[in-house]
Structure 1
């Protein structure tokens, strides 16, 4: 061993020691996952999972948005989902379920990349996909990037940079250690988790401790995936939290009320993850706006819409109120839900009026129609009446995207890459 090799090894040990001290000794939180995240909304790129029309309003209350799913996820719909979440006023991170879901576009748009590792699945779920992902990044993703941005580099430099960039991307990512406890879920099927693989609270704690100390997992995720874990999950969370010192502990599964959210947070979860409850808002508003369109004219006033919602919508039982109730910081979820549902109906009726007037079809890439109507300002002003100017600006882009879907080949070309088929209410149904 040369003296240079010896110095390099000593530097490597020092670096590992500094990292270990930062996680266990230094009184500074070095976990890149913010400690103040308590509520995460999971947005599934699957085409069947739709977004509410005014989705930025709902998402402004959550701590962060996670993009990922276990079924029917592709690079295309993943990129489209990130594009849609551009107006969101919260951090958006990527939880890919397959290596090729990570693209140059998603990597540029995601605040964090969270790589899943299933602690009670088969070896494919723990290291197999990571190996496939590493190969994909090293042999395809990074070389394509270098060829596009630095075509003048010699081959030996490309090889060296590709090695470094691959290692850097993995070092920059966070690792998310899953304990999957619902064998009937899509996540369990993907990871080959069966009834015999379910863990006791103590076994879950042991694997979580190994994930934190050996795998360096920034996140430990107790996953019930669509099913509420109840007392069993609460006991497991409490037991796992006793063994963790640095990793964040998250819970996901069946959170659709204030009581369930509070129970999991009180049991020891640093954050709860809500997915289905958010997507149900979109399904609900599609039916709501269809009824409103039958009862109200496109030019219905704000007061007429408020009165209609008050008489025809059981807000307390709505999916909008249920989702908002899962967010502890929303003190009056029913009141907020009523305001958002009213704004949704009024905005939808206004869009229909613009379409009937032909304004959307004649819209240009600047949002200015041939007859001088500024569509972006018109839609934003309508939303401002119900929501205030700041909230109205959040939804302006998604509304223009819907109008773009109705445009001819020359219309709103600057928004052509914004997909409208992810909305339960889409331009095609105007």
Structure 2
């Protein structure tokens, strides 16, 4: 009679064989990263990187939200960013650049957990960082999780095995992003110690990608130019890498702010584009626009008044709003949509300012603010946001307005982390 160990080994071998068949032979797609994600929005938790006031309007057009960055990212600001964006209105991926950015709360908030691997960096970038991450899961996050969830101690031996299971399960549930970093003048390159000697030719990139798919089983191969468009060089690499991959998704990120560049990398073989900087630039621009609008327009300005004022103030086609929306292949008229969203944002900002002035000195507590908001039939931005959010997120417009007003009126209140929103 076979031993329990032998049965377990046979079962694991059979499971492994089925998994390999699903990836290579069978006409099924077993990659957990959805194939329909053609556009990903990268959201940086760094304090300086703000979100547009009515950010769900823009994010309704993307496939998923990837939360992470290479500079000034902490567990706290990652939690805050995920609290704002997760599920509003798209699934969120946490992509940590450091182990302590992963907390029990971020694991609950994010729909996906992505582990970066740098294929052309130093040993620390692909092995050391992952090793320190496993150590953190086993020695800190895992025990803290058990202490929080279990009513009684398990005992040292059993607890160690359960923590090992927790760590293995966390990594098993994760998706791995195998990066090829090609812009030396970027935080990502500095973090991974990518030098001139580490830049890859198309053939070398193809070979690294094959290792990522076959040996590392990376769900994503990510060609990263980080803030700079890779142009013809990126197209050549994507063409070679795309031909070599059969299971891993191929993503491109870097300098995407036009329909032309997006179409070039998708035609070269990328499964999805990742757009980041220009999304945060929307927030920077709208903060200035809204401040000017509050000075120039009255609180009862009509929709037409605001459209006319906006046309005088800027060329909408040249705004970051239009540039971001132009990177979404399914959107036919990004400039018209940008104008619509900017006008809605200015309307909301004017209404917020009027409401703040009305309540200033009248409310002194969170309870009084809640009562004042409950009396109103319509809140700033409420209709626009409610139209793009799911049924389980219909409280978000009110929570956002309450958070912004509590911050502005200096009230002690439990609120959303509105310091990450561009318009205060």
Name the TM tier (shorter chain): over 0.9
Relative to structure 2, which stretch is displaced further, 148-157 or 340-349?
Answer: 148-157
- The residue that corresponds to 1:22 in the other structure is 22
Unaligned 5+ segments in structure 1 are none
User: Is the 8 Å Cα contact of residues 39 and 63 (structure 1) preserved in structure 2?
Assistant: yes
TM-score (norm 2): 0.93
**Other structure's SS at 2:379 match:** helix
TM-aligned CA distance change 1:408 to 1:49, over 3 Å: closer
User: Is the 8 Å Cα contact of residues 212 and 218 (structure 2) preserved in structure 1?
Assistant: yes
**Other structure's SS at 2:378 match:** helix
Q: Deviations over 1:145-201 (max 9, x none)?
A: 111111413213322211111111111101110000011110000000011100000
User: Is the 8 Å Cα contact of residues 138 and 166 (structure 1) preserved in structure 2?
Assistant: yes
Aligned pairs (5 A) from 1:312-327: 312-327=313-328
TM-aligned CA distance change 1:266 to 1:347, over 3 Å: same
User: Is the 8 Å Cα contact of residues 302 and 346 (structure 1) preserved in structure 2?
Assistant: yes
2:407 matches 1:405: yes
Distance 1:96 1:18 in 2: 31
2:7 matches 1:7: yes
User: Is the 8 Å Cα contact of residues 43 and 275 (structure 1) preserved in structure 2?
Assistant: yes
- The residue that corresponds to 1:390 in the other structure is 387
Distance 2:183 2:312 in 1: 40
Q: Kindly state the Cα deviation for residue 69 of structure 1 after the two structures are TM-superposed.
A: 0.3
2:63 matches 1:63: yes
TM-aligned CA distance change 1:68 to 1:424, over 3 Å: same
2:192 matches 1:191: yes
Distance 1:27 1:361 in 2: 65
Distance 2:401 2:359 in 1: 16
2:45 matches 1:45: yes
**Other structure's SS at 1:192 match:** coil
**Other structure's SS at 1:245 match:** coil
Distance 1:388 1:209 in 2: 43
TM-aligned CA distance change 1:399 to 1:263, over 3 Å: farther
- The residue that corresponds to 2:227 in the other structure is 226
Distance 1:138 1:423 in 2: 35
TM-score (norm 1): 0.92
Distance 1:315 1:177 in 2: 37
Q: Kindly state the Cα deviation for residue 361 of structure 1 after the two structures are TM-superposed.
A: 6.4
User: Is the 8 Å Cα contact of residues 356 and 409 (structure 2) preserved in structure 1?
Assistant: no
Q: Kindly state the Cα deviation for residue 330 of structure 1 after the two structures are TM-superposed.
A: 1.2
Distance 1:91 1:22 in 2: 25
> Which of 417, 421, 424 pairs up with 1:423?
421
2:134 matches 1:134: yes
Distance 1:363 1:93 in 2: 38
Count matched residues. 417
User: Is the 8 Å Cα contact of residues 213 and 248 (structure 2) preserved in structure 1?
Assistant: yes
- The residue that corresponds to 1:252 in the other structure is 253
**Other structure's SS at 1:251 match:** strand
Distance 1:189 1:209 in 2: 25
Q: Kindly state the Cα deviation for residue 389 of structure 1 after the two structures are TM-superposed.
A: 5.1
Q: Kindly state the Cα deviation for residue 376 of structure 1 after the two structures are TM-superposed.
A: 7.0
**Other structure's SS at 1:421 match:** helix
Aligned pairs (5 A) from 1:274-423: 274-358=275-359, 362=363, 365=366, 372-374=372-374, 377-379=377-379, 383-384=382-383, 387=384, 390-391=387-388, 395-409=397-411, 413-415=413-415, 418-423=416-421
**Other structure's SS at 2:420 match:** coil
Q: Deviations over 1:74-133 (max 9, x none)?
A: 111101000111461111111110111111011011111010000000110001011000
User: Is the 8 Å Cα contact of residues 54 and 395 (structure 1) preserved in structure 2?
Assistant: no
TM-aligned CA distance change 1:10 to 1:267, over 3 Å: same
Q: Kindly state the Cα deviation for residue 206 of structure 1 after the two structures are TM-superposed.
A: 0.5
Q: Kindly state the Cα deviation for residue 226 of structure 1 after the two structures are TM-superposed.
A: 0.4
